[in-house]
Structure 1
Amino acid sequence: MSNPLLSDWATPFAIAPFDLIEDAHFAPAFDEALEMARQDVREIAEQAEKPSFANTIEALEASGDRLDKVLSVFFTVAGADSNPERQKLQREFGPKLAAYSSEVTGNKSLFQRVQSLWDARDTLDLTHEQARLLMLTHRRFVRAGAALEGQAEARMREIMSRLAELGTQFSQNLLADEAEWFMELDEQALEKLPDFLVDAARSAGREKGVEAPVITLSRSLVVPFLQFSDRRDLRERAFRAWEARGAMGGETDNRAITAEILRLRQERAQLLGYESFAAYKLETEMAKTPERVRDLLMQVWEPACAQAEKDAAILTEMMQADGINGELRPWDWRYYAEKRRLAEHDLDEAALKPYLTLDNMIAAAFGVANRLFGLEFQPLDIALYHPDCRAWEVTRNGRHVAVFIGDYFARASKRSGAWCSAMRGQAKQPKVQGPVVINVCNFAKGEPALLGYDDARTLFHEFGHALHHLLSDVNYESISGTSVARDFVELPSQLYEHWLEVPEVLETYARHYRTGEAMPRELLDKMLKAANFDQGFQTVEYVASAMVDLAFHEGEAPDDPMTKQQETLEKMGMPSAITMRHATPHFAHVFSGDGYSSGYYSYMWSEVMDADAFAAFEAGPFDEDAAKSLETHILSRGGSADPEALYTAFRGRLPGVEALLKGRGLAA
């Protein structure tokens, strides 16, 4: 039988035929597609024709298209719907892909062609986008070690292969810990929990195959439990398990893995002539240097820490009023913060959830995109990789733009967190293709699914990433959509969150799931006024993670990352009742791959811009001129220009940190 992964897809919009694809298809398709990609590269490198932009750079852009198709399907299902066979394949594919990547950048004939074009770049009469693609291609080769020789070259290949293995193992260990642990709740433990949380816990119990409601380590379950459960003993048990992910001992323990990853990254940087991995990694980002990153983080840390200490004193008094002596602990903070929010803002998050249904929030994200950019969304009835997935065709003025897929519910087979990816990126060359974009979240199931305000923000955040793909309008796929500097990529996503705070958006879409009535204006106002509530806590837990990430990669790799983590936090003066948002053994942003290594700060770097960017909508949140400028200068441009140039074209200047502090309620 033919392998559907290696066939042309005669499906609507050439979507992968998920109903025909079986796990047994992946390995043979991967092996064949990998060999085809190798052949593409050999033909480019060994051709007799003199190097040109078309026969080298554009040819590289078009190479490996079959491999890209196979991997787009595989990594989609491996991340969002894993199983033992897919995990096994991940472990096998990772080193092979690393070896292939090293073969490409280590191909001396190919690099000579790229280098000759780079040396002659001023004489090639390239468009701005072509010149950018040439620069990025040359830089990719050099930073991958293309100029290395002999033993150094061989060692680089070994390092990259081993890092691929370790990143995969880190992710799979974390998934195993998250999937295995759960805590059953008896009727007494349920008594004071809100209905939405009880329903979600019962649904999770059914998924686990037990009769009792359960709390799992999914953020959409454990965080509300920490907010609303009056059982301090159970809160502590849940929090300690959540905090211990990746450090539970045995085969799934990630601590030794993180130490080896850090050693290999430092060696990789030194082979390329950099003092540290942070110096290597940040060279191509907007921040450029570790010093600029630290400066930003510390400007935010000091006011955030001061606010958190004030808040901790208030929460401690509340706890002691309940007859609990001693210090406020991390499993106490969210519970007493929720009680404080109710007391000071008369806002009970449980009262919000009936108005924030998943379907309504999806409609809100779509509705805002329609008003800002004229996009329209029509449901598609197509086969997808899991029954929970939904798909829409995206059009504008009747013209097909893209396919958007949403996979919103938590399950044991899905890694934690939320993310956006493109199974196919936008491009015009070598052929015109619309993107296929996926948002993956981990919301608790329910009938209907009810979101907290933070969940709704996550949905808008990931859809902001999706818009970066949907509105992309460049020639080459490798610089389309979110193919930008790491500390620029979060700008569109964090900017889009602002529209969730627009009253008319909530008035339209925040409707009670039973009555259909709009959220009462009084409740809506309370929610918006409380938007900055507990920002000291949220900022401290984030900045602590970003500073530890930076400390790991600035100098010699630590022998014991857990000791380095503790030393870094103590030096910063970390409040005792707050922990890092992502402790080292489950810091997937940093250790599942290179994506956010030395780059977790980027959310805050982008927030400096997003606070300023929303201010561009001076005539109102649906200012047509501002929306057009945002699309023209940022959302449509992908990585086709330097991010500082793109932002400056949009706003006329780069912003300072003041708008961020004010937006978080940490400055007057």
Structure 2
Amino acid sequence: MNIFYKSKKLQFITILSFTIAVTSCKEKKENEQPMETNNVLLSEWTGDYGGTPAFDKMNIKDIKPALEKGMAEKLSEIDAITSNIEAPTFENTIVPLEKSGATLDRVFTYYGIWSSNMSTPEFREIESEMAPILSEFNSKISQNLELFKRIKTVYDNSLETPLEDDKQRVVNLIYEGFAMNGAELDDTKKARYAEINKELSTLYTNFSNNVLADEENYVVYLTKEQLGGLPESLVKAAANAAKEKGKEGMYAITNTRSSMDPFLTYSTERDLREKVWKNYYSRGDNGDQYDNNENIAKILKLRKERVGLLGYDNYADWRLQNRMAKTPENAMALMNAVWPAAIARVKEEVADMQAVADKNGDKITIEPWDYRYYAEKVRKLKYDLDSDEVKQYLQLDKLTQALFFVADELFNYKFTPVPAGSVAIFQEDVKVWEVTDKTTGEHIGLWYLDPFARQGKRSGAWATTYRSHTTFDGKKTVLGSNNSNFVKPAPGEPVLVSWDDATTFLHEFGHALHFFSSNVKYPILNSGVRDYTEFQSQVLERWLSTDKVINQFLVHYKTGEPMPAALIAKIKKSATFNQGFSTTEYLASAIMDMKFHMADPTNIDVDAFEKETLTELNMPKELVMRHRTPHFGHVFSGEGYATAYYGYMWADVLTADAAEAFAEAPGGFYDKELAAKMVKYLFAPRNSTDPAEAYRNFRGRDAKIDALMRDRGFPISKK
């Protein structure tokens, strides 16, 4: 559930979340030729809906000159702030800082598409070349002493005479961002700090490109004789994937989760399951030119050195100071509270699977590539529930309509398809909808959906914005985007997805609704607190299993008949099935993230550290981390989730607690009064309110971990 979720303004004053979010650029050399004036990446967006990106006119040759021009403009805007002889105030320092970089923001909208959705070898060369240059420029802004002096003056004055609430939050966030990133260091330390960031930017780019290379280079091709157990929809999709790769007549299992997961669930070919499993979990760990272990070791050392310049013992202490958890110890306490119950449940699940294998006479011991396959058999045995049967009722088009229904019921939003050709798109599969307030007809924004996997698109699912809501410099409406990696079907065939994939689809749409519901005035208030930003997406997942969604949108793709009541009952009865697997694979990654950043990275052997740490945790041998370290993009392709992957569980404590509030409400999950409170306190404010305070405003108290344990079917501690 990846997400590029950061205010573009905040990018200038914090360490980068992802390499695609770096917002700096290269100064033009005197001997360079003048840049062409028709560079579309620089142009203001025109047309309806407040203007939209000219995705149809993107030219990769425009990237570097656009970055150079955007950087020069940004530096000029910063110079105008620092050269102001008037005493620093919110209006003459903070406001122009928030306004600055508009051209560069537009450039990075296109840059992000190339990086995440449409990457090519040519783009990767440019990305690798520009990463250190971009980082260098970023440091020029974050370490600008005169700029920081003005910001600090405004901040100090606000402590004496507080500003309006939203302005005070803006000042606090900007000051904190500069202070946390070395603005108060001496010149020698600043120089080293900037050099470290430059080195890291290259390592992050290398890491990401290595994972993408392994996803593209490892494809398993099957013959008809090797399709045993695979559902018809997967066979057709695999045939289409092979055809697109020039292997017509064969069947391709690509090295992505959306292809790997169903293959491991259904294939009767154990040797091929092992091969597909090893391909996927060995990404970045094959001892070749795309191996990431050395990159990770360097990243860990540089991160520790950098925070050491600021006086911190380790990266985790530095990073969590402004998160909900506050300290790594608090984050670890939550994970350690859940871990024993999770691995105990895995032991039970493996015993059930081994019993099925033994009864079948399979003469095997459960290995990681067997887990999904035999779990599916146990599900069938225990609940008479067949995942492929459920899948027949989960059509992507219908699920999209379900998203719109939930948005209507809870947020009063109407989604209307934008006529083809009226808004530029970057790839033919992308669809666009207009979002309006159902009651007033007010335009809220546009929603772009890029649903299918393809070469050059990074794996996973994520949400992003091309433009965020603000009102301080004229009202800006939202351009939000959801991106998935569903396997594209053969022409004329429906897209059928698993229950887990349907859940993820709602999850990412929750981020989009968070974008659209924003009522903030200033750009930086659209930024997120990392262990809170997953709440809005995780809570939306709960509406998939509500009766209104199931009865209206989960219909059989052939007959159009609604999902039978008996099948619905089975799904709800099995709600906590396989929670050992899903919780343990996630927690292992989250704990490993924290452990890496609390350890001494001197002479660290990344693979050995991973193995030793998992052994100490008593990690069950029958499964692995959801994201093994060499391809853990959340943590090592940038810094957005570094020591923050625990945030999914932190947010899920809030989610489970909030879900119980809806379950207890008179109108259940569609209770209008509670939904309005959720939008008002938990969605609309974005980062204009402290997350803990925002949740108390909604619930009347802090969230309790007991709800999470009940939700997962784990025993609740008596302590």
- TM-score normalized with structure 2 length: 0.91
Partner of 1:602: 647
* Distance in 1 (alpha carbons) for counterparts of 2:364 and 2:238: 31
Report the RMSD for the aligned CA atoms in angstroms. Answer: 1.2
What is the CA-CA distance between 1:259 and the residue it aligns to?
Answer: 0.5
Q: Distance in 2 between matches of 1:375 and 1:392?
A: 12
User: Which residue of structure 2 aligns with residue 469 of structure 1?
Assistant: 515
- Residue type of the alignment partner of 1:611: A
- Contact 1:491–1:606, Cα closer than 8 Å, also in 2: yes
**Per the alignment, in what secondary structure is the counterpart of residue 387 of structure 1?**
coil
Task: Please list the CA deviations of residues 583-611 of structure 1 after superposition, one character each: whole Å capped at 9, or x if unmatched.
Answer: 10010111010011001100000000001
Q: Which residue of 2 aligns with 1:420?
A: 463
Are 1:623 and 2:683 counterparts?
Answer: no
* d(CA) in 1 for partners of 2:512, 2:332: 30
Matches of 2:159 and 2:309 in 1, distance apart?
A: 30
Partner of 2:203: 166
Measured in 1, the distance between the counterparts of 2:140 and 2:337 equals 43
Helix, strand or coil at the partner of 1:582: coil
Matches within 5 A, 1:579-590: 579-590=624-635
Q: Residue 322 of structure 1: which of 360, 366, 369 is its match?
A: 360
AA partner of residue 470 (structure 1):
F
Q: Which of 91, 95, 110 is matched with 1:58 structurally? A: 95
**Which range moved further: 344-353 or 493-502?**
344-353
* SS of aligned partner of 1:115: helix
Residues 310-361 of structure 1: CA deviation (Å, up to 9, x unaligned): 1111211222333343531000111000011111111111111221100000
2:680 counterpart letter in structure 1: T
Residue of structure 1 in register with 2:349 after alignment: 311
Report the equivalent of 2:445: 402
CA contact 1:102–1:144 (8 Å) conserved in 2: no
Query: 1:539 matched to which residue of 2?
Result: 583
Structure 1 equivalent of residue 336 of structure 2:
298
Equivalent residue in structure 2 for 1:459, among 493, 505, 514 = 505
Question: Quick one: which amino acid aligns to residue 667 of structure 1?
Answer: P
In the aligned structure 2, how far is the partner of 1:309 from the partner of 1:508? 38
The one-letter code of the counterpart of 1:67 is L
**Where do residues 450-529 of structure 1 align in structure 2 (5 Å cutoff)?**
450-480=496-526, 483-529=527-573
Matched to 2:397, the amino acid is D
Amino acid at match of 2:274: E
Match of 1:199 in 2: 236
Structure with more helix by fraction:
1
* Displacement of 1:191: 3.4
Q: CA deviation at 1:622?
A: 0.7
The answer for the alignment partner of 1:3 in structure 2 is: 39
Counterpart among 380, 385, 392 of residue 347 in structure 1: 385
* 2:433 is equivalent to residue 392 of structure 1: yes
- Bigger shift: 596-605 or 20-29? 20-29
Contact 1:77 1:385 (8 Å CA) reproduced: no
Q: Partner of 1:214: helix, strand, or coil?
A: strand
Partner of 1:190: 227
2:325 aligns with one of 287, 298, 304: 287
Of residues 654, 662, 665, the one that matches 2:713 is: 665
Alpha carbons 2:155, 2:175 under 8 Å: kept: yes
Q: Distance in 1 between matches of 2:44 and 2:621?
A: 57
C-alpha separation between the residues in 2 aligned to 1:612 and 1:203?
43
What is the percentage of aligned positions where both structures have the same residue?
39
- Aligned partners of 2:204 and 2:575: how far apart in 1? 36
SS in 2 for 1:391: strand
Which one is further off, 75-84 or 63-72? 75-84
245, 250, 256: which one aligns with 2:294: 256
Q: Which amino acid aligns with 2:269?
A: R
* Aligned residue runs from structure 1 range 565-584, under 5 A: 565-584=610-629
| 1:225 and 2:279 correspond | no
Q: Secondary structure at the match of 1:4?
A: coil
- 2:105 corresponds to 1:48: no
CA distance in 2, matches of 1:547, 1:88: 34
User: Which whole-Å deviations, capped at 9, do the CAs of 1:67-115 have from their partners, x for residues lacking one?
Assistant: 0110012112320111112212222332222112211121111111111
Match status 1:143 vs 2:162: no
Which amino acid counterpart does residue 196 of structure 1 have in structure 2? S
SS across alignment from 1:257: helix
Query: Secondary structure of 1:615's match?
Result: helix
Whole-Å Cα distance in 1 between the matches of residues 46 and 173 of structure 2?
Answer: 34
Report the Cα distance in structure 2 between the residues aligned to 1:140 and 1:191, rounded to whole angstroms. Answer: 55
Which letter maps to 2:436?
Answer: T
- The TM-score normalised by the length of structure 1 is 0.98
Task: Report SS of the residue matched to 1:384.
Answer: coil
CA distance in 2, matches of 1:268, 1:199: 50
Which residue of structure 1 aligns with residue 472 of structure 2?
A: 429
Where 1:304 maps in the other structure, the secondary structure is helix
Q: Is 1:372 matched with 2:410?
A: yes
Counterparts of 1:645 and 1:191, CA distance in 2: 54
Gaps of 5+ in 2: 1-36
Kept in 2, the 8 Å contact 1:196–1:350? The answer is: no
- 1:98-155 deviations in Å (ceiling 9; x for gaps): 1122111211111111111111113455210100110111111111100111221100
Letter in 2 for 1:450: L
Query: How far apart are the structure 1 equivalents of 2:308 and 2:318?
Result: 9
Please give the alpha-carbon distance, in whole angstroms, between the structure 2 residues aligned to 1:435 and 1:93.
Answer: 28
For 1:124 and 1:64, how far apart are their aligned partners in 2? 29
